[in-house]
Amino acid sequence: MTNKVVEVSVENHVGIITLNRAEAGNAINLQLAQELMEAAIFCSESEEVRAVVLTGAGNKFSVGGDLKSFAEKGEEIGSHLKFVTAYLHQAISHLAGMNKPCLGAINGTAAGGGMSLACSCDLVYASDHAKFVTAYNQIGLSPDGSGSYFLPRLVGVRRAMELLYTNRVLEAKEAEEWGLINRTVPQEELMSTVLDLAEKLAKGPVNAYGATKKLLYHSLQETLETQMSKESLSLAERAGSSEGKEGISAFLEKREADYFHK
């Protein structure tokens, strides 16, 4: 039986997805992409999971695509990459589209598809040992894994172009200054910091998180008027939901809201 290269565990209603090819820098091959999709679907559908943390085993988050395995396909490399990206992109679609918050705990180098995967998380915290590099153009390739979608939204088109054209490496602190990540955390505190936040979010109004996520992701495709229309519809729907009713009641009664049982 093939060893799993993506591990999933659930702790205190937080789904922890770990890329587990440490010996290969957690490089993305066909198996990892498929198992990541399965993990994302599990976390998206599981009622026990109310927040998700994505991280890597060892001292790297992910060095990106497994070029050795790709090259072994010879003339079939193009069709092989379509299979790999089909699974990878489905994984990212589920992580980005689910109501539950997805937090990235970037424990080391995030390159190529690994950087794209990090960018797709809702919130991103990186070890002070982490580095970010796009890596695609240097080897004659173009971005995948949502990189061309999230990167310009996070840092702007000019900076995204610079990162892609020049293969410039961003240290964690500079990535924070650019808005690529939320915060740099000492290596030894990374997982405890991210898990603590994830557990707090898991107790929160997950459907409100999901509605907020959808509004933000769709905002750049809308006019001011159409976006405000979406806001109005979403707000009305949320106010009438069990979460909205509990949140408003808790505020008026000056108590802590209990979203977990709603």
Q: Which residues are catalytic?
A: 89, 144
CA separation, residue 209 to residues 26, 98, 213 (Å): 29, 9, 6
Helix axes 206-218, 224-239, angle to 10 degrees: 170
Q: Calculate the alpha carbon distances from 133 to 137, 206, 248 in Å.
A: 11, 32, 44
Rounded to whole angstroms, the Cα distance separating 171 from 63 reads 15
- Report CA Rg, the chain: 19
Show the 3-state SS of 42-61. Answer: HHHHCCCCCEEEEEECCCEE
The count of other CB atoms within 10 Å of the CB of residue 107 is 27
Which long-range CB contacts under 8 A does 212-216 form with residues at least 24 apart?
213/96, 213/99, 213/122
